[in-house]
Amino acid sequence: MTTVDQERILIIGRSIPLIEGVADLLQVAGYPVEMSSGWVEAEYARHHVLPNLIIVDLSIAAPDVYALAEEIRRTPNWGEVPILFVSFSGDDRIRDLQRRNRRNGDSLLHFYAHTLLSMDELLQTVRTCLS
């Protein structure tokens, strides 16, 4: 396994089996990954190495993903970290968020509906967020 230099990923989500599955996929691809069950619980991570990407399970961001994004960005030095909101249920809400975000033009926010059949697509989305 090769390590992708300087591309650390923080995954935040309620469903431990789901975020562990995504973490496993990313680790196999060479990304160092930290996991947390919520943004408040990620407090420890805020004092460690700055991640290059934050992946957030959409279910913990309800009702307002933009409010959570702003809270994350208020953390010192985290303002330019891309955030990828992922729906593990293929949530239709993702499409609405994608449309809204295209109108808002926030290049650091990304939205993706993840299913177990789309692991390659998830990896490609992560690479896009990191580029």
What is the spatial distance between Cα 102 and Cα 20, in angstroms, rounded to a whole number? Answer: 30
What domains sit in the chain, N to C, each tagged with a CATH number?
A: 9-130 (3.40.50.2300)
Helix segments in the chain, DSSP class H: 16-28, 43-46, 58-61, 65-74, 93-104, 119-130
Q: Above pLDDT 70, what percent of the chain?
A: 73
**For residue 113, which of 130, 83, 93 has the smallest C-alpha distance?**
93
In tens, the pLDDT along 25-68 reads 899 999 999 888 766 555 555 566 788 999 988 777 666 777 77
Q: Residue 1: is its pLDDT beyond 60?
A: no
Indicate the pTM of the whole model: 0.77
Q: Residue 97: is its pLDDT beyond 80?
A: no
pLDDT for 9: 92
What is the spatial distance between Cα 23 and Cα 16, in angstroms, rounded to a whole number? Answer: 10
Query: Which residue carries 């935040």 as its tokens?
Result: 12
